Structures are given as structure tokens and as C-alpha cells.
């Protein structure tokens, strides 16, 4: 059990100055990121900003071309990928999905499905599940490995707003019960978990990082989503000052184009913690 073999707040993964280069261009660069036991870190950013690349480098599925990644020895990872390579033309029950890649006892599967709230769907065909039910089944599958670290790549995809609220609540509950660390990915710039300890905004590099609390308490957010949603979700928006072009080059706010958006090109603003005042000034709040 993780709690007995690692100290509280132990760093499960630590990335320093990580860069990944493929097909002649940097997909991400200068990534510094730490996930501790019991901590929820959320990566946000637009499509193609390098969130999956960063998460896959963190857990060793991708080899960085520069920088270092340190993982606690024998780190057990539960990975919920954005896409599953499953042949959807073949019938597949939820029960069978649980044992596609690992062996688990029927009792363990029962406990995992209970924990994610879908014990009644054990014999259901995966193809018939709703978006939220499917994500819960994938979460159960990841939990069966009793992970130290859960990596969830867009776990609320295909799920409506109230479903997102309850899925995020479930993820928090899992963290509270097991003490695992969670690295969460969301391409939605507006809605992230209020229980996230650190939100990291990516756009090929880390644009900024901070806590979502200040945003969750903003009057405009409460007006838009109501106090109940505010307890679980937070708004977190940020305007990028540059655009990544299809050929890998970067167009900056002033119209100039450079080969990358890395520090040293004269356009980058350094990653830093934003104070509440700074966030308000920079327009981080109040947009839905």
C-alpha cells in the first residue's frame, strides 16, 4: 500500500527542463513539473499544446530529448489514455474490459466497479455505455492496478456538464481514499477541478501555473455556474500570446514569426506563479 511505503508529500515524479522533439520540431520544451503523493496537478492548454506529450514523458511512455524525468522507484501508474485501441466491432463486456491487459479476481473487479459507481453495469456491453459510464469503467480499470499515480488524459471527454461535476468529485474521492497522486489533462481552458492543487497551462512550454481557488470565488463564475458547481469546478482561462503554426513555427502577438516559443527567443514570458491580482489584471477570470 502506497501510504506505508512512501512519505507524505513524496515527489512521485519530477520533470526538469524536459523537451520532446519529433519530426524535426519541438513538441514541448522547458517543462518543469512535479506531482507529489496526494496531489492533483492539472495540465490545461489548447489542442496540440503538448499535454499528452508531457504526461506520456512523465510516466516513461515517451523518451525526452532533453532534460530529466525522475520517478519514485517502482512507481505504479494507472493510465487512462485519451484514445483506446479497442476493436469496437467485437462485443466486449465491462467485466472483460477490466481484464484485457491484466489479471484481476472477480472480487477485485467488483470492488473497483463499486468504487466508481457502476457495479450494475458489470455485464453490460461497453458499446452501450454513456460517455460518463465509459469513463468510470476506464477509471475502475486504472484503479485495479492500485496505482501510486493516476494519469487521466481528458477523463471528462464526451460527458455533459453535470456528468463532469460528478466525475471530478469521484476523482477527488479516489485521491482522498487512496492518497495517490493525480496528473489530470484537460483541453478545456475554462473548466478544471477546484480541488486541483496546481494548474499548469501549456502551449508548447509552460505559460503559467497557479491555484484555481481565486478563480472559483469570482462573482462572475458564481453567476454563470452557481455556488454548487463552484464547490467542484473552477474557471481558469488564460489568453495565449502566440499561435503555433502547422509547420512548427510560432507567430507572436506582434505578428513576428520565430522557430520556437522557447525562452531566449525574445518573446517568451517566463513561467511564474500568478497572484490573484495578476490573474485579474491578465484576464484569467470570468470567461465561460
All 3 cell numbers of residue 166? 460528478
Contact between 45 and ligand ATP per CB under 6 A: yes
Give the interface segment with ligand ATP, choosing from 50-58, 66-74, 231-239, 271-279 (CB under 6 A).
50-58
Give the interface segment with ligand ATP, choosing from 34-42, 49-57, 69-77, 266-274 (CB under 6 A).
49-57
Q: Which of 156, 174, 233, 183 is nearest to 40 (CA)?
A: 183
Contact between 271 and ligand ATP per CB under 6 A: no
Residues 3-32 interacting with ligand ATP (rule: CB under 6 A): 22-23, 27
**38 vs 64, beta carbon nearer ligand ATP:** 64
Contact between 210 and ligand ATP per CB under 6 A: no
Contact between 260 and ligand ATP per CB under 6 A: no
**82 vs 173, beta carbon nearer ligand ATP:** 82
Say if CB 31 and CB 205 are below 8 A apart. yes
> How far apart are alpha carbons 132 and 154 in whole angstroms?
12
Give the interface segment with ligand ATP, choosing from 30-38, 46-54, 90-98, 139-147 (CB under 6 A).
46-54
> How far apart are alpha carbons 171 and 3 in whole angstroms?
18
Contact between 53 and ligand ATP per CB under 6 A: yes
Site pattern 68..87 for ligand ATP (x: CB under 6 A): --------------x-----
Contact between 47 and ligand ATP per CB under 6 A: yes
Strand ranges across the sheet with 77-80: 77-80, 149-153, 181-186, 40-44, 198-202, 206-210
CA 198 to chain centre: 11
Rounded to 10 degrees, the C-alpha dihedral 104/145/94/123 comes to 40
Say if CB 11 and CB 72 are below 8 A apart. yes
Contact between 147 and ligand ATP per CB under 6 A: no
Candidates 48, 67, 119, 131; binder of ligand ATP (CB under 6 A) is: 48
> How far apart are alpha carbons 188 and 201 in whole angstroms?
11
> How far apart are alpha carbons 242 and 256 in whole angstroms?
10
What are the residues binding ligand ATP (CB under 6 A)? 22-23, 27, 45, 47-53, 82, 187
Amino acid at each position: 500500500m502506497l501510504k506505508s511505503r512512501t512519505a507524505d508529500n513524496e515527489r512521485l515524479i519530477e520533470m526538469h527542463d524536459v523537451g520532446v522533439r519529433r519530426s524535426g520540431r519541438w513538441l514541448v520544451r522547458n517543462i518543469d513539473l512535479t506531482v507529489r503523493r496526494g496531489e492533483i496537478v492539472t495540465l490545461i492548454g489548447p489542442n496540440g499544446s503538448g499535454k499528452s506529450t508531457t504526461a506520456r514523458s512523465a510516466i516513461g511512455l515517451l523518451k525526452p530529448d532533453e532534460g530529466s524525468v525522475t520517478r519514485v522507484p517502482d512507481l505504479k501508474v494507472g493510465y487512462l489514455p485519451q484514445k483506446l485501441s479497442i476493436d469496437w466491432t467485437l462485443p466486449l463486456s465491462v467485466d472483460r474490459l477490466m481484464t484485457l491487459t491484466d489479471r484481476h479476481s472477480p472480487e477485485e473487479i467488483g470492488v473497483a466497479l463499486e468504487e466508481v459507481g457502476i457495479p450494475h453495469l458489470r455485464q453490460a456491453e461497453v458499446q452501450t455505455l454513456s460517455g460518463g459510464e465509459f469513463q468510470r469503467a476506464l477509471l475502475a480499470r486504472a484503479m485495479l492496478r492500485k496505482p501510486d499515480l493516476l494519469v487521466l488524459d481528458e477523463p471528462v471527454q464526451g460527458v455533459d456538464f453535470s456528468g463532469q461535476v460528478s466525475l471530478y468529485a469521484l476523482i477527488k474521492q479516489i485521491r482522498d481514499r487512496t492518497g495517490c497522486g493525480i496528473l489530470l489533462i484537460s483541453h478545456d481552458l475554462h473548466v478544471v477541478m477546484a480541488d486541483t492543487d496546481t494548474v499548469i497551462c501549456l502551449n508548447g512550454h509552460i505559460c503559467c501555473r497557479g491555484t484555481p481557488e481565486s478563480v472559483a470565488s469570482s462573482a462572475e463564475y458564481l453567476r454563470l455556474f452557481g455556488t454548487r458547481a463552484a464547490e467542484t469546478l473552477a474557471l481558469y482561462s488564460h489568453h495565449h500570446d502566440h499561435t503555433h503554426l502547422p509547420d512548427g513555427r510560432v507567430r507572436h502577438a506582434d505578428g513576428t514569426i520565430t522557430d520556437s516559443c522557447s525562452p531566449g527567443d525574445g518573446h517568451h514570458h517566463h513561467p511564474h506563479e500568478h497572484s490573484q491580482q495578476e490573474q485579474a489584471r491578465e484576464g484569467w477570470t470570468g470567461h465561460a
